[in-house]
Chain A
Amino acid sequence: MITRRRTLALLASAALPGKSLAKAADSPFLKDQLAAGTMPDLAQRLPRSPRVIDLGAMGRTPGRQGGTLRMLIGGQRDVRYIPIHSYARLVGYDQDLNLGPDILDSYTVDEGRIFTFHLRDGHKWSDGSDFTSDDFAYYWNDVVMNTSLRRGGPPMDLKVNGVVAKFEVLDRLTVRYSWDVPAPHFLPRLADPIPQPLMLPAAYMRQFHANHQKPDILAELCERHRVTTWARLHKKMSRQNRPENPDLPTLGPWLPKTAPPAEQFVFERNPFYHRVDENGTQLPYVDRVVLNVSSTEIITAKTATGESDLQATGIGFPDYTLLKEAESRYPMKVSLWRRTQGSSVTLLPNLNYKDDVWRGLFQDVRVRRALSLAINRTEINKVIYYGLGRESADTVLPESPLFKPEYAAAWASHDPDQANALLDAAGLQNRDIYGRRLLPDGRPAHITIESSGESTLETDVLELITDHYRAVGLSLFTRVSQRDIFRSRATGGEVMMSVWQGLDNGVPTADMPPTQLAPSSDDQLQWPVWGMYYMSAKTSGKAPDHSKVLELVSLLGDWKQTKTAEERARIWDDMLAIRADQVFSIGTVNGALQPIVRSSRLRNVPDEALYGFKPTSYLGVYLPDTFWYEEEP
């Protein structure tokens, strides 16, 4: 290994000063294709100005190409983790959550409303075809604006105040999106784990589009792919979130080679990938990623027997001891990262619950505060998290620049006396002979809390909270239902209280939209009906009638008009303060730990980092394409 690394280093040192980064040795994986002449040289495959990842500056070491990364997934649909982990985006966050260009060569923002994107010259899709503004134009004209493909019109994220962006092609490598008003959410939306797409490989996709293909050929294709309309065919063939079509060219580091159904999904390196390390070696380092489908329950067991080279999904904190003990038996290493959720187990009283009495109570801030004060977070932290979590309300983490200690401490101490006093004041003062509180209309105050039952952690925390609530005269019953059923019942206002994770993104910067703090989606279980109202652009659901919630909605609206970072930070502050004071979600412990298992030969995986869907895109911002294998000893 040393010799090879040294060779590479020598090559690189020779290559670095000049602009000819592409002189680095080409991947041995492509040797046969290169020899046969079916694959162009590295210099022709890379963009003229590739994205150079300076691993040395990141405190990592540049490595060598090769090897296969095995991962375990819980079902075929979980191939969707690959685009999330690999995190090739037009713009993306780096490790410190600063936004920067990735696939784009550069971008400019004028007046917060005009976004000009510059592509890399010579950038190619994974099939070798050019990646140009034509691909953006195709997506815009033939997908976004096509009424057959998008019945509901252009996506919400491309609209501001209901007005869709203006799209212009400036030249072969430059496109522009602009609105009349600022659109601060636009770039962060492109950096999401599941981004708003803006382009498709036009050369490939045109064959599935009615505007570019003869109807009889299209009909034949529909039949071959077993779909009824060309719109479905187009959707099926262009799915980028779930790489199920091996023929769809991509810009990501690994290409799918397997179409479902399969028990094993193989991804191979993209020879046209746009990132290189400081030595000019093309990324990704790892040649192949192999996803093995197994059942969710045994992912832990398989990981603990060394069957995965990099595992983060499907394992949880309770599995840590088992995994750590397996370290001595298998060549693997386990590290603990911090999860980014605002609270790892959160109680969400449904402010839209169908029962009038309960809805009234949950909309009463005293009840929500009492429910929060009654919880003994210290016990939860000690029993469930070995004291390693942080007792906190459901708010941002200390890692976020927006954090303030008072948010975390708001109504989060254990104070049963105050909780009792608040509940008495809120009209729950009557009790039955067992000391259980009665509702104003005489019914016993039974709270039914619904859980998807997916983690034993949740069940255990609930068990502790049940006792805490009993001490203030409330009885808590848990009902477990399957995730989808649970969500659909919640949307219908049939769930009284649910247990879920806290804020999706606990480490936001002011530039990330505070969407999660105000009603904006029907999966916000504390106000699903209000969330539905805004998600559906006021076509379904109900408008909120709660003054503090309306305040959040208007602040979110204000944020979308902002031009400067200071304004954004101020709005974030206001919203977080309202959330903390109003306790719309009842947090327990945050900063919970997530075990990350890797092969002990795999280098460049950070030992400590943040783990979450947003904003880190699971492993995404830590650049799994820069992980590499040491040679076997």
Chain B
Amino acid sequence: MSAYLPKPGAPLDHFVSDTPFDPDATENNAEQRAVAAQASQLKLMWWHFRRHKMALWSGIFLIVIYFTILISEFLAPYDLHSRNTDFLYAPPQAVHIFRDGQLVRPYTYGRDVTLDMVTLKWNYADDPTDIQPLRFFCHGDRYEFWGLFKADLHLVCPAEGGQLFLLGTDRLGRDVLSRTIYGARISLTIGILGVMMSFVLGIIIGGLAGYHGGVFDLIVQRVIEVLQSIPSIPMWMALAAIIPVTWSPILVYIGITIVLGMLDWTGLARAVRSKLLALREEDYVLAAQLMGAKSSRIIGRHLIPGFMSHLIASATLTIPGMILGETALSFLGIGLRAPITSWGILLTEARSVNIIALYPWLLFPVVPVILVILAFNFLGDGLRDAADPYK
């Protein structure tokens, strides 16, 4: 052991700086302090936030995903409802980029379909002689972009007369990838809209209750307690059952959003209330009151910003709950209904034991659900850490 240590008095065999060590160097660095002092709160949060790599990447992932829902029609190779009855239960198709050792334009093989009359299963075999090069920025199924104007441009289409089922097809021959892309539009926005709604309700009701207290607070608290004690699934079912069947899919969608938002605001309202109870005793509130500010101004201008960051973080963590809520409702058959398509709807169609055993690709919509939920959780985590940069 002692062989590793130099003899007493002998020089160390590695370099040792003899500059005096100042443990408070960073804190005392006037330049940096000046930057930190001048930086806005947002900027500080951003500095803090980007150190959380997981949260950063999750955020980027979510931005990308949310961007795709703006152009679902363009990204999906097929229309949401187009059925290809010659290709039922087709498994995912591989895309090749090499042919004879050469890098070529991506292509797929054509497929021969046979029905096994013994097991009644569709068998698909690649036909290596039938090369179907993919087309990009091409004209395919017609759609109405955002229901506004007709178009038929797609990012990628199969060759003329060919097929492109990257994630296979379901029992009616519909492309699973296209449906998943369209499903994202519903599943992702329902979370955001639901949270917005519960946000507005939570801040207004919780804010008033916390700031004014008294009878109003008492009533709100009891209402919240009652709402929270109702089991959520039956409550959802009851509310979802109220929505008439003849409503157009868009109205049903808004209805479900309202249902989810209506049930979710209670937790947020409580958080806001308790924060306000503490903050309203602060001197600056008193100062504002003495200067004659109205309560709406005091709440909105002075109190809410004090814990806005916290609210944003908690909202981010609520969105996954909303998405799961929608998925669960649709899965139980009481949420959205076909022809509207969400990830929950897609999973409902894939819940039989047959699917799991024979056609597992129909379970693919689970993947985006998991990824998005995880991303939101990481993002929320990062935001919460970054929320209070002065800590």
Contact = CB atoms under 8 A, between A and B. Distances in A.
Instruction: Decide if the interface of chain A is mainly helix, strand, loop or mixed.
Output: helix
A464 B337 CA distance: 15
A456 B173 CA distance: 15
A449 to B, nearest CB: 9
A386 B120 contact: yes
B153 interface: no
Nearest to B170: A460
Contacts of A300: 352-354
A479 B172 contact: no
A216 B370 CA distance: 67
B358 A325 contact: yes
A318 B245 contact: no
A382 interface: yes
A460 B119 contact: no
Contacts of B338: 463, 478
A532 B349 CA distance: 36
A318 B118 contact: no
B354 A321 contact: yes
B246 A325 contact: no
Contacts of B333: 453, 480
A448 B244 CA distance: 10
B181 interface: no
Contact of B85 (A321, A382, A463): A382
Given A382-B85, A383-B172, A322 B246 contact: no
Nearest to B351: A297
A479 B337 CA distance: 9
Q: Pick the most buried of B83, B357, B358: most chain A CB atoms within 10 A of its CB.
A: B357
Q: Pick the most buried of B172, B337, B349: most chain A CB atoms within 10 A of its CB.
A: B172
A319 B358 CA distance: 10
Interface string B338-360: 11000000000100111001100
A325 B119 contact: yes
Contacts, number: 65
A304 B352 contact: no
Contact of A318 (B119, B172, B339, B352): B352
Instruction: Decide if the interface of chain B is mainly helix, strand, loop or mixed.
Output: loop
Given A320-B120, A448-B246, A479-B245, A386 B115 contact: yes
Contacts of B171: 318, 383, 460
B190 to A, nearest CB: 20
A386 B119 CA distance: 11
B121 interface: yes
Contact of B119 (A321, A448, A467, A477): A321
B358 A322 contact: yes
A383 B245 contact: no
A339 to B, nearest CB: 16
A565 interface: no
A268 interface: no
B172 A464 contact: yes
B358 A321 contact: yes
Given A383-B85, A453-B333, A319 B245 contact: no
Contacts of B337: 478
A393 B337 CA distance: 29
B172 A460 contact: yes
A477 B349 CA distance: 18
B287 to A, nearest CB: 59
A466 B171 CA distance: 16
B88 interface: yes
Given A322-B358, A463-B172, A456 B118 contact: no
A435 to B, nearest CB: 14
Interface string A282-309: 0000000000000001101100100000
Contacts of A166: none
Given A320-B120, A386-B120, A479-B245, A456 B353 contact: no
Given A322-B357, A322-B358, A386-B115, A477 B245 contact: yes
A477 B338 CA distance: 9
Contact of A304 (B118, B121, B339, B353): B353
A469 B117 CA distance: 31
A244 B284 CA distance: 77
Contacts of A467: 81, 83
A453 B351 CA distance: 14
B353 A298 contact: yes
B354 A322 contact: yes
Q: Pick the most buried of B88, B120, B357, B358: most chain A CB atoms within 10 A of its CB.
A: B120
Interface string A320-337: 111011000000000000
Given A298-B353, A478-B337, A383 B173 contact: yes
A7 to B, nearest CB: 38
Contacts of B354: 300, 318-319, 321-322
Contacts of B245: 448, 477-479
Given A463-B338, A477-B245, A478-B337, A456 B85 contact: no
B237 to A, nearest CB: 11
Given A322-B358, A453-B333, A464-B172, A383 B352 contact: no
Nearest to B121: A321
Contacts of B246: 446, 448, 477
B375 to A, nearest CB: 32
B221 to A, nearest CB: 37
Contacts of A379: 85
Contacts of A382: 85
Interface string B104-116: 0000000000010
A510 B120 CA distance: 36
A382 to B, nearest CB: 6
B352 to A, nearest CB: 7
A300 B358 CA distance: 13
Contact of A324 (B85, B115, B119, B352): B119
A477 B85 CA distance: 22
A21 B390 CA distance: 100
Nearest to A447: B246
Contacts of A478: 245, 337-338
Contacts of B120: 320-321, 324, 386, 388
A383 B353 contact: no
B357 A304 contact: yes
Nearest to B337: A478
Nearest to B356: A301
Interface in A448-473: 448, 453, 456, 460, 463-464, 466-467
Interface in A133-171: none
Nearest to A480: B333
Contacts of B115: 386
Nearest to A388: B120
A388 B118 CA distance: 12
Contacts of B339: 466
A448 to B, nearest CB: 5
Closest 9 CB pairs of A and B: A324-B119, A301-B353, A479-B245, A321-B121, A322-B354, A477-B245, A446-B246, A321-B119, A383-B85
Interface of B: 81, 83, 85, 88, 115, 118-121, 171-173, 245-246, 333, 337-339, 349, 352-354, 357-358
23 contacts: A298-B353, A301-B353, A304-B357, A319-B353, A320-B119, A324-B118, A324-B120, A325-B119, A325-B121, A325-B357, A383-B85, A383-B88, A383-B172, A386-B120, A388-B120, A448-B245, A460-B171, A463-B338, A464-B172, A466-B339, A467-B81, A479-B245, A480-B333
